Chains A and B, each alone.
Chain A
């Protein structure tokens, strides 16, 4: 067995043991395949459980996806400048637990931990709901629930799941559904 094969097997083992999982699919800009429309989308507010407004993140994501000519925050659900106005709220939680593996590892010069075997686990959920208004009247509501878990080791370099990327994922899913419902799938 060559050195490369051993490294590949170790890497695959670490990935399998220290992976992560989300119940909602991740969507890239290419997968969404949105056409830029000559409309303006307003975001009234996307509030978390502590009533902090995440409208700026939502606007940034909508701008990045280039789905509309103009995206703005508004206080008015019937804003005459906007074709659609989005209002939403979301809840996010994450619980982290770790085992005593690192203590055991100290007696073996930390070698078990450096092998990438997971010693921590986190799981959580992000639940978001959005209301879409057109000229002041509610046209549809959407709800997304992403449950996730992740096994982490000392070699896990990516950050823990947090609220902002989860919200951005929900916005992409919202756009996917709005595309089907309002833009005729195009």
Chain B
């Protein structure tokens, strides 16, 4: 009985300590897209707030922006995916473009995501040639 209680408490704590991204990806797997989007938005807002003002780094003797580019990029891509699953093409493409710009700005590699985005553009047969060329030019 005691062991069972301990396991329950540990599970509860683990669920409570899950990051917004983990919660969002779990909800995505369950097909709860609006709820997943909320957690992705929360993760993105957190990083955006951290990125507003650079903080003083005494060991580096300079000011530096302290936020996780990876968390922010995953959140942006995740929001795009939630819209994609909800068949909201415009919103999905909007966030994919945001994701591409953000990743390029921070020098992230995103080969897997780029293939996925390209496939989505081709299947959604968008008429906007500029958008397509911009997104298809991704490495």
Which A residues contact B (CB, under 8 angstroms)? 45, 47-48, 50-53, 73-78, 92-94, 162-163
Interface residue tally of chain B, by bracket? 20 to 34
The answer to whether A50 touches B105 (Cβ under 8 A) is yes
User: Does B93 sit at the interface, judged by CB under 8 A?
Assistant: yes
A37 smallest CB distance to B (angstroms): 22
The answer to whether A50 touches B90 (Cβ under 8 A) is no
The answer to whether A45 touches B51 (Cβ under 8 A) is no
The answer to whether B94 touches A51 (Cβ under 8 A) is no
Q: List 10 A-B contacts (CB under 8 A).
A: A45-B98, A48-B52, A50-B67, A50-B106, A51-B101, A73-B94, A75-B94, A75-B97, A75-B128, A76-B128
Contacts of A162 in B (CB 8 A): 52
Which parts of B86-139 form the interface with A (CB within 8 Å)? 90-91, 93-94, 97-98, 101-102, 105-106, 128, 130-131
A92 in contact with B90 given A75-B97, A76-B131 (CB within 8 Å) = no
CA distance A33 to B101 in the complex (A): 36
CA distance A52 to B72 in the complex (A): 9
Contacts of B93 in A (CB 8 A): 75
Among candidates B53, B91, B102, residue contacting A51 with C-beta atoms closer than 8 Å:
B102
The answer to whether A92 touches B102 (Cβ under 8 A) is no
3 closest Cβ pairs, A-B complex: A51-B105, A75-B94, A50-B51
Among candidates A51, A53, A93, A163, residue contacting B106 with C-beta atoms closer than 8 Å:
A51
A40 smallest CB distance to B (angstroms): 13
A23 smallest CB distance to B (angstroms): 20
**Max count, chain A CB within 10 A of own CB: residue among B93, B94, B97, B130:** B94
User: Does B48 sit at the interface, judged by CB under 8 A?
Assistant: yes
Among candidates B51, B67, B90, residue contacting A75 with C-beta atoms closer than 8 Å:
B90
The answer to whether B131 touches A48 (Cβ under 8 A) is no
With A50-B106, A52-B51, A76-B131 given, name 10 new contacts (CB 8 A): A45-B101, A48-B52, A51-B106, A53-B98, A75-B90, A75-B131, A76-B130, A78-B128, A92-B52, A93-B53
Closest to A92 in B: B52
A88 smallest CB distance to B (angstroms): 14
**Max count, chain B CB within 10 A of own CB: residue among A53, A74, A75, A163:** A75
Closest to A163 in B: B52
CA distance A52 to B47 in the complex (A): 9
CA distance A181 to B67 in the complex (A): 39
A176 smallest CB distance to B (angstroms): 26
Contacts of A163 in B (CB 8 A): 52
The answer to whether A52 touches B97 (Cβ under 8 A) is no
A166 smallest CB distance to B (angstroms): 11
Contacts of A45 in B (CB 8 A): 98, 101
A50 in contact with B94 given A76-B131, A93-B53 (CB within 8 Å) = no
